[in-house]
Structure 1
Amino acid sequence: MSKTLKDLKPGQKGVVLNLGKKGPVRKRLMDMGITPGVDVEVVKVAPLGDPIEVNLRGYELSLRKDEAEHINLK
């Protein structure tokens, strides 16, 4: 089983391996800068677990859990 962005806790880091989702969701994630090889760090998670705030490429980005589970990490 591979590790996804959804599995990380605040303060943990990872490197994007690939995006498991195909189609418009994948394109949207890539347009936001989530591409293979980029470093990501989980900054915080909302009290109910959704959304997840991550730091990548020098900016903060909020993602839904269902989006984060399609981002596979090394």
Structure 2
Amino acid sequence: MKLSQLQQGQKATIIGFEQLSNDVRKKLMVMGLLPQTPVRLVRRAPMGDPLQVEVRGISLAVRTNIADSIVVEKS
């Protein structure tokens, strides 16, 4: 399942990344989006982009096209 497919308030664990450049992957990891890390979708922006996610107690905004490349497993 993709991070972008979660519903508001749902929790999941990041499994890995698909089709992301190394630069984008590194930026996500620096922000705390690492494999085996719990994540929660807080909400979507009114037009659907970006998504607000919470990782390790920190709130982040992630573009939908990037969230489509983050593979998660629902908790």
AA aligned opposite 1:70: S
Q: Kindly indicate whether residue 25 of structure 2 is the aligned counterpart of residue 17 of structure 1.
A: no
Q: Unmatched 5+ residue regions in structure 2?
A: none
Taking the aligned partners of 1:12 and 1:50, their CA distance within structure 2 comes to 17
Taking the aligned partners of 2:22 and 2:34, their CA distance within structure 1 comes to 15
TM-score by length of 2: 0.91
Give secondary structure in 2 for the equivalent of 1:54.
Answer: strand
Q: Unmatched 5+ residue regions in structure 1?
A: none
TM-score by length of 1: 0.92
Aligned length: 72
The runs of at least 4 aligned residues of structure 1 exceeding 6 Å deviation read none
